[in-house]
Amino acid sequence: MAEVNSVSAVVKDGKIQNAANNKENKEKTNQAKGYDKDSFLKILVAQMKYQDPMEPTSNTEYISQYATFTQVEQMNNMANAMSLSRASEMVGKTVTITQTNPETHETTDIQGVVDFVTYSGNKAYLNINGNNYNVDDVTQVLGAEYAAAYNEANEFIEKMDKLPNLLEIVNLGEYGDRIWALDDDYKGFDKKTTDLISKDYETALKQYVGKIEELESSMKGFLDEIGSLPADLDEITLETHGKKIDDLYERYMNIDLKTRNYIDPEGKYSAGLLGYVNKIDDLRGNEHRTFGKNTENAQEV
């Protein structure tokens, strides 16, 4: 990141804000950058003053040297003016800054909207989020549509990166809604956005969705088994329904709380199973089993 302490011109919305200080700053800049036209003239006068009178330098040589120096100075001034003009056109646009660590030679990309431009030492700097960056480090200027697509893709990738690396630990309660939301987002992206997303993420998303579908299918089968029991508790018998209700109870107790809320948000099936379990316990003459306890780390079965 390039920090700028001395600012000679600030450009906002394409207009120079502190032009009153330009003359003073220009003089300081000329001193800092080396020789200018005035310096050359001083050297030229000194050269003429102390030249060998027996072998004086021709006027043609003086004129040639001065013309060359003037041409170079004009070219530098033009390049600087073009740099400032180019930088001022970036105000309000999203750009990518690529910086290289001089020691490790590793590159870092920084992206953001240019708030305004500063000009110091014949260099233009872009202010992004309060930090100044050399305009020469700009590697991309993004159009409005591309910037929007980039932001969408980047947000999607960040959310995908927060999902577990192992499908085995994906559960409905914690990841079901998140994965379905990511699937809806991806299906709603246009080609500009999907082109910015690696196919690896598309493949991973399909695997996550497949896992959630598998878990939902399993949970649906579990709820269907509860729903297949007689609605009237008086019809429940130990011989006919005892083992099945015991199995359903064990499965239910191994489901984490978030998943229970995911598959049965209104608690309809939980209340029904509770009634069946209590009925079997009554038929056996046992105390009612614990029903509300569970662990967050319990696995879906």
Q: Between the CA of residue 86 and those of 100, 135, 161, 193, 272, what are the distances in Å?
A: 22, 9, 37, 28, 71
pLDDT confidence bin for 49, thresholds 50/70/90: confident
Using the predicted structure, report yes or no on whether residue 35 has a pLDDT greater than 70. Answer: no
Using the predicted structure, report yes or no on whether residue 298 has a pLDDT greater than 60. Answer: no
CA dihedral 128, 132, 135, 136 (to 10 degrees): -120
Taking residues 17-44, report their average pLDDT. 53
How do beta strands 15-16 and 138-142 pair? unpaired
- The pLDDT of residue 105 is 87
Taking residues 96-101, report their average pLDDT. 89
pLDDT confidence bin for 66, thresholds 50/70/90: low
Residue 201 and residue 242 in contact, taking contact as beta carbons nearer than 8 Å: no
Residue 120 and residue 8 in contact, taking contact as beta carbons nearer than 8 Å: yes
User: pTM for the whole thing?
Assistant: 0.56
pLDDT confidence bin for 87, thresholds 50/70/90: confident
- Strand segments, DSSP code E, in 1-143 are 9-12, 15-16, 94-100, 107-113, 116-120, 123-128, 131-134, 138-142
Residue 179 and residue 163 in contact, taking contact as beta carbons nearer than 8 Å: yes
Domain map of the chain by residue range? 79-142, 146-209, 229-284
Taking residues 252-268, report their average pLDDT. 92
- The pLDDT of residue 94 is 86
Alpha-carbon span 250 to 301, nearest angstrom: 9
Residue 52 in tokens: 């060998």
Using the predicted structure, report yes or no on whether residue 173 has a pLDDT greater than 90. Answer: yes
Using the predicted structure, report yes or no on whether residue 151 has a pLDDT greater than 70. Answer: yes
